Amino acid sequence: MIREPYFARQGWYPADEDTCRRGVESYMEKADDSGSGQYAGIVPHAGWIFSGGLAGKTFRALSGCKPEVVFLFGGHMHPGDRCVCMPRGSFGTPLGPIEVDEQIAAEIVTSFECAEETSELYQPDNTTELQLPFIRHLWPEARLVAVQTPPREQAIKIGALAAELADKHGLSALAIGSTDLTHYGSNYGFTPHGIGDEAHRWSKEENDLPFIEHLLAMEARGAIQHALSNHSACCPGAAAAAISFAAGRGATQGTLLARTTSHEIEGRSQPSMWVGYASIVF
């Protein structure tokens, strides 16, 4: 009952065990010790060439944690979508499988009437899959509860219940929320300021940054509202669930470790399309 990794085969990150492990270690080694997290983190989910560096910062900052269960929130979802969870089996990674915490997953599925996936019947989801090798490498004994969370009040309730269940069962736990930021360009159907340097500046400083500020202030509802109104994040429900979990465990604010865009990573002279990314811990 192992859910095979899909995006590794598609080239989003290495499918070979040794290459994948070296990639995880390299991204984490290149991260500095500018921050540490105790409860939760926010990571991007593009192919590792774009997202790996920032994901490495988040996971390095959380590497001092010893979770028995990791809650992983993701999902490209609309407000009216149903939450999705795989409550049994294991998630496969090039580094080995990660076992689902079936008891906690079942309680979340029942509480929110989540659509259930299985190890064989599922929709591939890059938002969660690209984080799995980092989780498997850092915490090989930890169990996983992965939930795709729609951007509405339910996401906040899911995060809160996750924190309550960890306390109820006496488990050390942390949460990862997976979201990218503004998707800008004609291929995304979003060019309110044309293209070029000024559009890139607006996207990063005036559209991404307010959303990030909601995350840092742990304003889950504000983050969802900003994202839906301004196209400033693709998975705000996942971020909101992670914030809600962190608040339930005792966090009061977030720390921004880094932010960038795919244009800055690529280093092209003329920005025409890009996606924003951020690394945050709580």
Q: What is the CATH number of the domain that holds 267?
A: 3.40.830.10
What domain count does the chain have?
A: 1
Run of H or E residues at 174? strand 173-178
Degrees to nearest 5, angle at CA 144 with 23 and 108 = 145
SS3 state at 99: strand
pLDDT in tens, 41-83: 999 999 999 999 999 999 999 999 999 999 999 999 999 999 9
- DSSP per position, 102-163: HHHHHHHHHHHTPEEP-SSS----HHHHTTHHHHHHH-TT-EEEEEE--SSHHHHHHHHHHH
pLDDT in tens, 184-227: 999 999 999 999 999 999 999 999 999 999 999 999 999 999 99
**Global confidence as pTM:** 0.97
CB neighbourhood size of 198 (10 A): 11
Task: Give the CA count within 13 Å in the CB-facing half-sphere of 85.
Answer: 29
Residue range of the domain that includes 128: 2-281
